[in-house]
Structure 1
Amino acid sequence: MNDDNLIKLLKKNPSRGLSCAIEQYGGLVKTIAVRIIGYENQQDIEECVSDVFVELWKSIDNYNKDKGILKNYIISIARFVCINKFKRKMNHTEIIPLEESGLELDFDMDDEVSAIINKKIIKETIYSLPQPDKDIFIRRYYLYETVKDIAETLGLNAKMVENKLYRGKENLKLALLENGIII
C-alpha cells in the first residue's frame, strides 16, 4: 500500500489503517525499539511498538509529505517513543509529550541518550564491514591515518582505499537511516 492510501485509511478507518501500518512498518519499528531499549525486555519492546502506532494515528494530521516520506516520519516517532521509554527505564523524569514536540523530531545529537544509541549503531555497522574495509575505516576515521599511509600499510593502492572508504560511508549512512537517525 502506498503512503497516500495508508494515510487516507488511517484517517477514514483507523483500525484498518493501523493494521495496514503495522503490517507494513511493524518490523522496522520493532527493530528500532530493540536497538534503543535492548533485547532483554520483550514486554517493553511490544509496548513501544504499540505506542508508536498509536502516536502515528494521533499525529497523522501533522504529517507533511513535503518534509519526507511516511517511513521516515514513522522512524522519527519510533525513536521518540523508544527514547522516552529508555529514559523512563533509566529513571529520568522529564518525558516530553509527542504533541508538545511539534513533531519536528529532529533529535539533537548532544542529547545523551541519542548519542549513546547513535554510537552503538555506528560501532555495530563498522564492525560488520568485511576485512580489509573495517581496518581501513578505523585507521582513517579513528586513528586519522592518511589514505597513502593506509594503502602502504595494507599493500593496496590509494584509489582502492578511497573506494573502500566511500563504500563504507555509504553502508554507514544506510544503517543510520534504517535505524532512525536522520542525516
Structure 2
Amino acid sequence: MKIGEQNLAEEIKNRNSDALEYAIDNYGKLIYKIVYSILNSFGDKESIQECVSDVFTSVWYNIKTYDNEKASFKSWIIAISKYKAIDYRKKLMKNSNIENINDYNIAALNETEEYILAAENKDEIIKIIKELGIVDCEIFIRRYFLEESIENIARSLGLTRQAIDNRLWRGRKRLKEKMISKVKKERI
C-alpha cells in the first residue's frame, strides 16, 4: 500500500513501520529545526538528536491519541516536538552545573522575554475574544485554540460554513483593530 498524508496516521496506528519511515522522511527536518531552536543553547548535538528520536518514538506509541478532527498530523507532530524539547531542556538545565550566570546563553534571555510578551498578548487576545459575543467567542476558541474544523463548528452550531467564515473574518478584523489600538496607546 502506498503511504501518503491521507493515510499516514492510520498506517502508523496499524503499526506499519513504512509509515513511520515516511513520517521521518517528511517531517524529520522540521522536527529537528523545532527541537534545535529550543535546545540549542542548552544541549549538544547528541541531546538534540536524542530528543528528535524520542519525538518519533512518542508518535509511534501515542498515535491512538491523534484525532484528525482536531488537528492535522503535521500540527500534532509539531506540538509533540515542542513539548518533548521543553521537557529535555528542563532536564538538561536541572542536570547542568552552571557556576556563573554568564554561562547562560543570551538567546535564553531573549526567549524568556518572548514568552512573557506572548503570555501578555495571549491574555489581551482572550479578553478581546470574550468581547465578541457568546457565539463568536465560542467559534473563535473552537477554531483557533482547539483547532476544530469549520465544518464541524458549523454543524454543531446549526450554521452554514459561510456564516462561520464571515464571523471568523469579522472577529479577526476586530481583533486586529483592537491590537493596533493597544500598540498605538502604548507608544504614546
- 3-state SS, counterpart of residue 25 of structure 1: helix
Higher fraction of helix: 2
Q: 1:73 aligns to what?
A: 76
Q: 1:18 aligns to what?
A: 20
Which piece of structure 1 moves more, 53-62 or 7-16? 7-16
> Is the alpha carbon distance of 1:144 and 1:66 closer, same or farther for their aligned partners in structure 2, counting shifts above 3 Å?
same
Quote the Cα distance in structure 2 between the aligned partners of 1:5 and 1:55.
19
Q: Deviations over 1:113-144 (max 9, x none)?
A: 9x946817x89xxxxxxxxxxxxxxxx84992
> Is the alpha carbon distance of 1:58 and 1:117 closer, same or farther for their aligned partners in structure 2, counting shifts above 3 Å?
farther
Q: 2:67 aligns to what?
A: 64
Q: 2:186 aligns to what?
A: 144
TM-score, scaled to structure 1: 0.51
> Does residue 119 of the first structure (1) align with residue 114 of the second (2)?
yes
Q: How far apart are residue 82 of structure 1 and its match?
A: 0.6
Using CA pairs under 8 Å that are at least 6 residues apart, name the structure with larger relative contact order, 1 or 2: 1
Percent identity, aligned pairs only, is 29
> Is the alpha carbon distance of 1:38 and 1:78 closer, same or farther for their aligned partners in structure 2, counting shifts above 3 Å?
same
Quote the Cα distance in structure 1 between the aligned partners of 2:19 and 2:113.
31
Give the residue type in structure 2 aligned to 1:41.
D
Q: How far apart are residue 5 of structure 1 and its match?
A: 1.2
Aligned pairs (5 A) from 1:83-94: 83-91=86-94
Q: 1:131 aligns to what?
A: none
Quote the Cα distance in structure 1 between the aligned partners of 2:19 and 2:60.
9
Q: 1:43 aligns with which of 39, 42, 46?
A: 46
Q: What is the count of residue pairs matched by the alignment?
A: 108
Q: Deviations over 1:147-182 (max 9, x none)?
A: xxxxxxxxxxxxxxxxxxxxxxxxxxxxxxxxxxxx
> Is the alpha carbon distance of 1:143 and 1:35 closer, same or farther for their aligned partners in structure 2, counting shifts above 3 Å?
farther
Quote the Cα distance in structure 1 between the aligned partners of 2:45 and 2:52.
11
> Is the alpha carbon distance of 1:78 and 1:118 closer, same or farther for their aligned partners in structure 2, counting shifts above 3 Å?
farther
- 3-state SS, counterpart of residue 53 of structure 1: helix
Q: Deviations over 1:13-39 (max 9, x none)?
A: 442111100111111100110110016
Q: Give the gaps of 5 or more residues in structure 2.
A: 96-107, 119-181
Give the residue type in structure 2 aligned to 1:43.
E
Quote the Cα distance in structure 1 between the aligned partners of 2:82 and 2:112.
10
- 3-state SS, counterpart of residue 186 of structure 2: coil
Quote the Cα distance in structure 2 between the aligned partners of 1:117 and 1:56.
28
RMSD over aligned Cα atoms: 3.1
> Does residue 55 of the first structure (1) align with residue 58 of the second (2)?
yes
Q: How far apart are residue 59 of structure 1 and its match?
A: 0.8
